[in-house]
Amino acid sequence: MSIRIVIDSTSDVTDDIINKYNLKMVPLTVNFAEESFLDKVELSSSDFFKKLVQAEKLPTTSQVNPGSFVEAFSQILLEGDQVLGIFLASELSGTYESARIAKDMTGSDNIRIIDSKNVCLGTFALILEAIELVNKGMDIDEIVDELEKVKSKIVAVAGLDTLKYLEKGGRLSKSQSVVGSLLNIKPVIEIKDGKLSVIEKVRGKNKIIKWFDEWIAKNKFDLSDRTVLLFYSQDYDQLKALRQVIEEKYKIKNIIEQEIGAVVGTHAGPGALGVAFLNK
């Protein structure tokens, strides 16, 4: 009996890793006016951002429903495998709760569900740890215990190029957005324990890479044995510049690049740049 890892589309795991480790991805839905798309199935990241900048109203997103999880779980169980589900923070979406309901509906003892308490590449970092533990041959309950212990050690921060999409999504007032834009403020946000908070306000886009460099040094992160996830939305040149600054300086073991998907991109907007890793 093997262990199959099930994820949702907000973790932004690369196609290479999904295919290599036979992960099962269940998509959320992105809604533009009268049109709805399955995230990453019917709408790629690049197509999403093209639609986003043209949209008059911010798109909405819909959680995975329990039925979709029942279908995914049942297929894996019928193949004789166990299910290890790792999903975005329950504070940010009902997707985790849908997975829990689906587990109860199947009535199987071979399903385990984990609330990552994160989203996007923060969840991706936890999934990478799960893959490593599965490959070590640990049993599913040992893996769950270890993931529950380390998930609070996920580091995930991102610099945003604009406050417009946070304001459109109701996470920032219009006056705050206007003042921030006039002052050319680029907020740096952190996702921790299921909550999003602004930890810094950087003046000017060109200073954000310097901020990341100083942030790594200030926190004395040892990245020599870490897989570091770098993520962006549309502005890949900015990611390349960040990678060039930190890759050699901090002797990073491995770097994975990814463009953020539609769900996170709805609030982050284009021009976001971030870093995530498991600091265990």
Quick check: 259 and 233 in contact, CB under 8 A? yes
* Weakest-pLDDT range from 91-105, 112-126, 155-169, 244-258: 155-169
pLDDT at 173 over 70: no
Rounded to 5 degrees, φ, ψ at 92 are: -105, -15
Confidence of residue 248 (pLDDT cuts 50, 70, 90): confident
Tally of structural domains, the chain: 2
Specify burial of residue 188 (Cβ count, 10 A radius: 0-12, 13-18, 19+): buried
Residue pLDDT, tens place only, 177-231: 554 565 677 888 898 899 888 888 898 778 999 999 999 999 999 999 999 999 9
Residues 56 and 25 in one domain: yes
Residues 203 and 143 in one domain: no
* Weakest-pLDDT range from 48-52, 130-134, 264-268: 264-268
Domain boundary among 150, 181, 209: 150
Question: 171 to each of 37, 109, 167, 197, 233, how far by Cα in Å?
Answer: 23, 39, 6, 11, 19
Q: What is the pTM of this model?
A: 0.93
Residues 142 and 193 in one domain: no
CA distance linking residue 29 with residue 43, whole number of Å: 9
Residues 9 and 146 in one domain: yes
Residues 12 and 123 in one domain: yes
**pLDDT value, residue 175:** 52
Residues 64 and 191 in one domain: no
Domain boundary among 106, 134, 150: 150
Residues 121 and 189 in one domain: no
CATH code assigned at 15: 3.40.50.10170
Percent helix / strand / coil, the chain, rounded to 5:
45, 25, 30
When pLDDT is averaged across residues 164-183 and rounded to a whole number, the result is 58
Residues 65 and 84 in one domain: yes
**What strand order describes the sheet that includes 29-32?**
35-38, 29-32, 60-62
Residues 9 and 142 in one domain: yes
Quick check: 255 and 247 in contact, CB under 8 A? yes
Q: Which of 129, 193, 185 is nearest to 155 (CA)?
A: 193
Residues 161 and 232 in one domain: yes
- Partners of residue 112 on adjacent β-strands: 84
Range of the domain at 126: 3-150
**pLDDT value, residue 182:** 52
Domain boundary among 150, 165, 188: 150
Residues 9 and 134 in one domain: yes
Residues 85 and 189 in one domain: no
Strands of the chain, DSSP E: 3-8, 24-26, 29-32, 35-38, 60-62, 82-87, 111-115, 154-159, 185-192, 195-203, 227-232, 254-259, 273-278
As given in the structure block, the two tokens for residue 180 are 């921030």
CATH code assigned at 222: 3.30.1180.10
Instruction: Tell me whether strands 3-8 and 29-32 are parallel, antiparallel or unpaired.
Output: unpaired
* Side chain identity, residue 217: A
